[in-house]
Amino acid sequence: MLLAANLVAAEITDDIDIALPDDLDILLDEKEPSKHVWGGYLKNETAYRFDEPRSFTKIRNVASFNWQYLLSSRIRFYTSGWAYYDHVYDLFNYDTIAARSVRDEDEPLVFLEQLKKEKDDKRAEIKELYVDMFFDNLDIRLGKQYVVWGVLEGMRIVDEINPMDFHELITPELLDYRIALWTFRADYYAGNTTYELIWIPDLVFHRSAPRGSEWELFQVLDGTTKPKSFEPEYSEIGFKVTRDMLDAEIAFSYFYTWDDYPTTFRVISQEDVTSATPSEELPIFPTYTRMQIFGMTFTKEISGDILKAEFAFVKDKYFAIVDKYDDDGFLVSDGDVQRDHVRWGLGYDFSILGADISPAIGQAIILDYRTYLLTTEFDTTFNVFLRKPLPKYSAVFSLLYIHLLKFKETYIKPRVHFDLTDHFRITLGGDFFVGQRTKFGRSADASAEGGLVTPQQRARFLGNFNENKRFILEFKYTF
């Protein structure tokens, strides 16, 4: 579950709308420096869930833009943003779209009736807004931006800088699930070594799906203690050194950060739990906590293939425990204990029969493990990304496969992109989930004393959405 919580559906696509270095090179070659480049896309995303209750769950129209302006040969301004409106809520009943009454049919009726009904029907935001400054041996980027330190697609091991947007879990594409942060970034070049510094005063954490929606997994509770943005003592800071050596690119990094998931401290006794009624809230104190990440990445070309590896030592992270009480009857360690853990990943990119294939395996290991921890000691993930051009049909087939070995959970994301023109694309595909659901807390049982029973506790990730299997159809016009 530990590594699963950091999964990302970061498959490589050939149409990511972001400013690339090549764009800058074109501008720098122009005789007249005051040039600008702009672009974007219009897209319709439609999804149909084929499990009961069958329904269209998304009919979303999206407008995205990006614009860059070269103020001089050494200064560039860039911005991007998007807006969307989902018509599905105008055409279909919210309870049918969310399907919570089916997915949570084993919960007490009072629980279902009290579910909030938040819609993911519209959004408009600036995704990136920064200025680049270029000097002889130094590049500076200041503003709202993404910073990517990882080298493996499909899992976050070293790459813990930008939080994730779970509005559709991990099904969106690269730039639709990352959250850009206001950041100062400086890269200093000395021969074959690059020194990178990042300072992040903007404290934004993982964004959960709307409450009551079909993608709801976790929520930030009211009253959660959050550090304040743009106050120096709460800032995040990181360093990375990248060097070409042994015919490979090796990077070492350090990131002093906040855990993007809040720690839910619970100062409660066993008597509090057993005497509470279903509608009574137990005292909990969720708060965000500090942790440190020491990382390393490795990339090496081998006969045209690419070997990639990541390693991270994470210090001071909190882990939840099952209900274990001390001699006084109070929950041990307020429900959470600090443990260091390590994460590693290994991937290999190669081509065969015209297809690009990228398998990877990753694992998280909790050090000084105790059996009362809710998270397992070893959490192993296996990913495969495949991309196969089909020039005869002006199409590209891609497949993302993620499997969590410990809990036998799987996510499969097939896509076929048909390029009808240089600007117009149609995509067919699906999102398929396999696995069990999470079980926490107590459930209603008329035969049990007090009408409540405590089932076997288990934490799951992908399996929670086993009934969200869907087909998708997209129309995209790029300009």
At 307 the pLDDT is: 97
Three-state DSSP class for residue 244: strand
Prediction pTM value: 0.84
Question: Could you give the CA distance from residue 105 to residue 37 in angstroms, rounded to a whole number?
Answer: 52
Q: What is the pLDDT of residue 22?
A: 45
Q: Lowest-pLDDT range, 246-250, 265-269, 317-321, 347-351?
A: 265-269
Condensed to tens digits (0 to 9), the pLDDT of residues 280-336 reads 455 667 889 999 999 999 999 999 999 999 999 999 998 877 665 555 555 555 557
CB 259 within 8 A of CB 2: no
CA 432 to chain CA centroid, nearest Å? 18
User: Tokens representing 48?
Assistant: 């149909």
What are the two backbone dihedrals, phi and then psi, of residue 350, each rounded to the nearest 5 degrees?
Answer: -150, 170
For residue 268, tell me if it sits in a domain: yes
Residue 412, SS3 per DSSP: strand
Please check whether residue 444 lies inside any domain of the structure: no
CA 77 to chain centre: 27
Task: Establish if 442 belongs to a structural domain.
Answer: no
Structure-block tokens of residue 427: 């995509």
Helix (H) or strand (E) holding 102: helix 100-103
First and final C-alpha spacing in the chain:
41
pLDDT at 246 over 90: no
Cα–Cα distance, 24 to 271 (Å, whole number): 65
Does some domain include residue 12?
yes
Burial 234-272 (b: 16+ CB within 10 A, else e): ebbebebebbeeeeebbbebebebbbbbbbbbbebeeeb
Q: Give the H or E element holding residue 444.
A: strand 443-444
Domain of residue 251: give its range: 4-413
Report yes or no on 238 lying in a domain.
Answer: yes
Is the Cβ–Cβ distance between 464 and 217 less than 8 Å?
A: yes
135 Cβ contact partners less than 8 Å away, ≥ 6 residues apart: 74
- Whether residue 425 lies inside any domain: the answer is no
Predicted confidence (pLDDT) per residue in 96-110, tens digit? 999 877 777 666 666
Tell me, what CATH number does 164's domain have? 2.40.160.10
Distance from C-alpha of 53 to C-alpha of 57, rounded to nearest angstrom: 11
Which range among 121-135, 295-309, 329-343, 378-392 shows the weakest confidence by mean pLDDT?
329-343
Highest mean pLDDT among 22-31, 244-253, 330-339 belongs to 244-253
pLDDT of amino acid 448: 53
Is there a contact between 360 and 346 (Cβ–Cβ < 8 Å)?
A: yes
Q: What percent of the chain has pLDDT over 90?
A: 63
Tell me whether strands 36-49 and 355-366 are parallel, antiparallel or unpaired: unpaired
477 falls within a domain: no
* pLDDT at 282 (0 to 100): 52
Cα 396 from chain centroid (whole Å)? 25
pLDDT, averaged across the chain: 85
For the chain, the helix, strand and coil percentages under 3-state DSSP, each to the nearest 5: 10, 50, 40
Within-domain flag for 270: yes
Kindly write down the DSSP assignment for every residue of 46-77, as one continuous string: EEEE-SSSPEEEEEEEEEEEEEEEEEETTEEE
Give the tens place of pLDDT for each residue, 177-208: 899 999 999 999 999 999 999 999 999 999 99
Number of domains in the chain: 1
- Give the tokens for residue 95: 């309870």
Helices (runs of H) and strands (runs of E) counted in the chain: 7, 22
Whether the pLDDT of residue 212 is over 80: the answer is yes
